[in-house]
């Protein structure tokens, strides 16, 4: 069972290619976000790894669910379920410029790659708990894959 990760250049380029297939009129298969909003949302999520977006503290119960979810995804290599709740800070329910959102996400992906190569990713995530470089690459790939599937790419 292959565990794809943004740390692997092949899978990193796969994600970049899939993003390139999106247009401002690409329809979603599920969810509330349009393609521009999804791109902005994904950008915000990767910025967590770059320490540019900080998530709020969670209560013990939600933090435990997050840690169990991370472990389950790693063991079973499964994806993210549709219509999962997200942090308020990461919800994009406002209009976004498609080209700007796409460019920003691609630039943030490059910054993620650089941070990863420099071993400069955080060792903790508010939802997933203790994190390794491997965890970041795997979970960020899974998140992007989830949303790209949402738009059929």
Confidence of residue 47 (pLDDT cuts 50, 70, 90): very high
Rounded to the nearest integer, the mean pLDDT of the chain is 96
Q: What is the pLDDT of residue 85?
A: 82
The answer to whether residues 26 and 78 touch, using CB atoms and an 8 Å cutoff, is no
The kind and range of the H/E element at 79 are none
pTM: 0.95
Interatomic CA distance for residues 70 and 125, integer angstroms: 11
DSSP code at position 94: S
């Amino acid at each position: 069972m292959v565990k794809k990760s943004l740390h692997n250049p092949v899978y990193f380029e796969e994600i970049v290619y899939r993003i390139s297939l999106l247009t401002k009129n690409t329809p979603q298969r599920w969810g509330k976000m349009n393609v521009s909003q999804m791109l902005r949302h994904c950008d915000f999520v990767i910025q967590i790894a770059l320490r540019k977006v900080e998530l709020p503290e969670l209560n013990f119960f939600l933090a435990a669910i997050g840690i169990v979810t991370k472990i389950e995804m790693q063991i079973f290599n499964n994806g993210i379920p549709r219509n999962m709740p997200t942090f308020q800070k990461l919800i994009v329910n406002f209009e976004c410029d498609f080209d700007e959102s796409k460019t920003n996400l691609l630039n943030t992906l490059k910054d993620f790659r650089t941070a990863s190569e420099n071993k400069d990713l955080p060792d903790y995530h508010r939802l997933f708990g203790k994190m390794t470089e491997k965890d970041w690459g795997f979970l960020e790939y899974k998140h992007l894959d989830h949303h790209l599937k949402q738009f059929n790419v």
